[in-house]
Copies of this chain bind each other. A is one copy, B any other.
Amino acid sequence: MSCEVNLTNQLRERGFRITPQRSVILHILGHAKAHLTPAEVYQQASISLPGLTETTVYRTLEFLAQTGLAQTVFNGKSKYAYEISGYAHHHLVCRQCGTEVEIPHVKAEALFKELQESTGFQLMQNHISFFGLCPVCQED
């Protein structure tokens, strides 16, 4: 019916079950304009699924990350955020003010390839957080 059908089918084909909880959370992530925290996902998802628990939100988001449909954002503050895996990119995060800048994955492609070849690791191809100071916060 709605927009997240292709993603749920992808899960079913891989042997996972499609639950209302997963559908709703995928729907929300799919329409998000920004990184969403578990609390934000829970808040929105509760509207259409009143019985939903935060535990399930945490587990579903982690599940989506493990299966590659979503990505975890590390902002350096022990608070998570997630987004649907789409356009491959990374972030520069200011350790002072939290400002985030998006970096297209292609800029890091050479490094990723090199690391994979030299270590045998299969790297998730996007969404690394690079930490530092933004231009504004450098004046301290």
Interface size on A, residues (CB 8 A): 34
Contact B78 A123 (CB under 8 A): no
Residues of B within 8 A of A134 (CB): 120-121
Contact A92 B115 (CB under 8 A): yes
Give the Cβ gap from A91 to chain B, nearest Cβ, in Å: 10
Interface centre among A107, A122, A133 (most CB of B within 10 A): A122
Could you say how many copies of this chain the assembly holds?
2
Beyond A76-B74, A78-B80, whether A114 also contacts B123 by CB under 8 A is no
Residues of B within 8 A of A133 (CB): 121-122
Beyond A78-B78, A111-B108, A124-B131, whether A119 also contacts B95 by CB under 8 A is no
Q: Which of B66, B76, B121 contacts A94 (CB 8 A)?
A: B121
Give the Cβ gap from A130 to chain B, nearest Cβ, in Å: 6
Contact A115 B130 (CB under 8 A): yes
A119 to B101, CA, bound (A): 8
Contact B119 A92 (CB under 8 A): yes
- Which residues of A are interface residues toward B (Cβ below 8 A)? 66, 72, 74, 76, 78, 80, 92, 94-95, 101, 103, 107-108, 110-112, 114-116, 119-124, 128-135, 138
